[in-house]
A = this chain, B = another copy of it.
């Protein structure tokens, strides 16, 4: 089926490239990340990178997919209290962002998005996709438990929560105390009563 002629791709090399990419992205940001620097740190020829990825954005994309970059943890388990669950999840999101380098990383990935349409979708799928699905799942469970009205648009609610986080990060606006909870409160109340 597949063409297996020639020397096979060296997986250790692929890993080294993705690791180097993750490190440099966190250290310097997307703008100041160069393919040459990745090659240098990974101990790899530049051509080896271009052989497998079309662009800087594509490498970053796969580095994220490979878990080379720190992403916020999965949402906390369902304790039955929708509001409490979402508040603690939202707090975690903002706490993760407070760590040095993490806001830079999000901004870097946002910048990477502006390059190519194909990579963008894949990148957002990888980064916000899991969070989003867990979030919607939790909301759906709340709906099943009667905590959320049946006709509520759960996707819109998820957009509102994730978007609010993204907005604060990109605007470099400070996070006032109580902000995560206030966000959750507005959305959860809106889901409860139409």
Which residues of A line the B interface, CB within 8 A? Answer: 29-31, 104, 107-108, 110-111, 113-115, 117, 120-121, 124, 128, 152-153, 155-157, 159-168, 170-173, 176, 178-179, 182-183, 185-194
Contact = CB atoms under 8 A, between A and B. Distances in A.
Contacts of A170: 110, 113, 120, 124, 166
Given A29-B115, A153-B186, A163-B163, 8 more contacts: A31-B111, A110-B113, A110-B170, A124-B172, A128-B167, A128-B171, A156-B185, A160-B163
A53 to B, nearest CB: 17
B167 A182 contact: no
B156 A182 contact: yes
B31 A114 contact: yes
A157 B152 CA distance: 17
Mostly helix, strand, loop or mixed at chain A's interface?
helix
Contacts of A161: 160
Contact of A194 (B168, B178, B189): B189
B153 A182 contact: yes
A161 B110 CA distance: 19
B159 A168 contact: yes
Contact of A113 (B120, B165, B168, B172): B172
A153 B179 CA distance: 8
Contacts of A153: 178-179, 182-183, 185-186
A46 B153 CA distance: 51
Given A159-B168, A164-B156, A192 B191 contact: no
Contact of A163 (B166, B189, B191): B166
A190 B159 CA distance: 15
A30 B30 CA distance: 13
A124 B161 CA distance: 19
A157 B192 CA distance: 16
